[in-house]
Amino acid sequence: MVTQCAILEDFGLFIVLADKVLYAYHLEALVPTTPGSIHASQTPQRIHGKDVHFFSVGVLHQRTLVIYMKKRGNNDCVFNAVEPVIDKINERPKASGGGLLGLKKNKTEWFRHYKDFSIPDAHDLIFLKAKIAVLCAKGFMIMDLIDYKSVTIPQRDDPNFPYLAKRCDSCRPLGMFRSSDEEFLLCYDEFVWTPIGTNTAMPNRVAPNGEGSYLYYLFAPSSRVTGFWVKEYGIS
């Protein structure tokens, strides 16, 4: 069963996660743009052969990356970051052979290894401008892939807002959405909130209906959040 897909348009690739196996298809093999294209009959390559739970694609420091996660043990989540190699993708396909019944080897030639890292209890990953955000049991972990330095939002040791940490502990992070150049909306399964400035919250400026210039809590009208829309920020 297919659970995720994405297109790397600049590289002409279609990425598919099916039955926990991560594949890369050449777009010309799926939708040929010219008759007799050299890639029209090209078989897909496996980026990783088993136990992939999810993946994310994006650009960091002028590198296009595919980051996928696989479990190790009960809680440890191992992330592998690979980047597409345009010369390998565009080269003429090699004749199949050398493998059992003429099948291609599983090792991908279209991607090269970039980085590996692990985070406990992670269930999603989002690309930001220069960092990544990993959604995990502790909240939103903002990580720099160059030096692996990270900070978790909300910060549990902030004595000013213990109620926020307590509320987040009982909820599941769902997503992060940019509301301006400096601010994000952080969506949980029961509420949405945003840090103001550099992780400094302003609880005296509460906008429960999403109106006003400052927003700290945005509570959903129902007990569970399945989606939301904030008119002021133009996010849907």
Tens-digit pLDDT string for the chain (236 aa): 999 999 999 999 999 999 999 999 999 889 888 777 777 777 899 999 899 999 999 999 999 999 999 988 777 899 999 999 999 998 887 765 544 333 445 456 899 999 999 999 999 999 998 999 999 988 899 999 999 999 988 777 767 667 777 778 888 898 888 877 777 888 888 777 776 544 344 333 333 333 333 334 444 433 444 443 333 333 32
| Assigned token pair, 22 | 């991560």
Polymer length in residues for the chain: 236
| Beta bridge partners of residue 196, listed in sequence order | 200
- What's the predicted TM-score (pTM) here? 0.77
Which pLDDT value is given to residue 219? Answer: 40
So what's the pLDDT on residue 225?
Answer: 41
Residue type, 208: P
pLDDT of residue 161: 65
pLDDT of residue 108: 61
Residue 227's alpha-carbon distances to 100, 137, 164, 219, 222, in angstroms, are: 48, 20, 21, 12, 11
Distance CA 225, CA 188 (A): 7
pLDDT of res. 81: 98
Which residue's structure tokens are 């692996």?
A: 148
Q: Give the per-residue pLDDT at 160.
A: 62
Question: What pLDDT, on a 0 to 100 scale, did the predictor assign at position 39?
Answer: 76
